A = this chain, B = another copy of it.
Amino acid sequence: MLTVIPIPWTMTSVIVKPEKERTFVPSDARQKMIESAVTLLALRGLEGTAFSDVIERSGAPRGSIYHHFPDGKDQLVEAALELAGDRALGALDRLHGSPPKAVTKAFFDLWRAVLVRSNVRAGCAVLAVTVASDSQELLDHASSIFRAWRGRIAELYVEGGMAGDAAERLAATLVAASEGAVVVSRAERSLEAFELVAAELLAVTPGPASANTP
């Protein structure tokens, strides 16, 4: 079945093929480009994430990237940072009511999944941008994500019974240690360092490791 969908930005419409035939759909092209940018930033860093690489990886037609990101690469990188930041926040939002140790475990689980899926080659897009950009806008965005992560984790720790000061210290340490552990493990192409760090942080986080139950 073919569906005709009006596309507001062109004031025309396109014919959307059913799932099996679909190769490119304008409505999710932007999202695919952003997802590709997150992956490339995590794998190759900021300079390894050119428009041409994103086009190749996302399968989007060349013209569409200039349509969706008319201000250039930094605009795409901003969107990629936002997606990377929101993914972790979304995972943290599912942890309300969990004991602190379960929060620590869940955050390491997120990063372990990134390492395992990529054969220990990918890391954090936000970190990759921070160490390779001198754009104040991109650094501000990276900063707001790191602050949001550690703020949200500290809230969860406090909900789980920790004092505010201790929660802030441990939350900053969880973000820093997991970021650093991912980099060390990528260099070493091994999860060994990552697992040592995860074990240490779990040991110093109070509470049982079980997830929240209704």
Pick the residue among B180, B187, B189, B196 that contacts A180 (CB under 8 A). B180
* Bound CA–CA A201/B133 (angstroms): 29
* Bound CA–CA A188/B145 (angstroms): 10
Range, interface on chain A: 35 or more
- Kindly provide the distance from the CB of A175 to the nearest chain B CB, expressed in whole angstroms: 6
Main secondary structure of the interface of A (DSSP, over half): helix
Complex contact A197–B184 (CB within 8 A):
no
Interface centre among A48, A170, A200 (most CB of B within 10 A): A200
Q: A177-B177, A184-B179 are known contacts. Are A193 and B150 too (CB-CB below 8 A)?
A: yes
Pick the residue among B133, B172, B176, B187 that contacts A146 (CB under 8 A). B187
Q: A131-B131, A179-B180, A204-B204 are known contacts. Are A172 and B197 too (CB-CB below 8 A)?
A: yes
Instruction: Using A128-B132, A131-B186, A146-B193 as known contacts, list a sample of 18 further A-B pairs with CB atoms less than 8 Å apart, ordered by residue number in A.
Output: A48-B134, A123-B131, A127-B183, A130-B183, A139-B187, A139-B189, A143-B188, A168-B196, A169-B196, A169-B203, A172-B197, A173-B181, A173-B197, A175-B193, A176-B177, A176-B178, A179-B184, A180-B181
Which residues of A come within 8 Å of B, CB atoms? 44-48, 123, 126-128, 130-134, 139, 142-143, 146-147, 150, 168-170, 172-173, 175-181, 183-184, 186-189, 193, 196-197, 199-201, 203-204
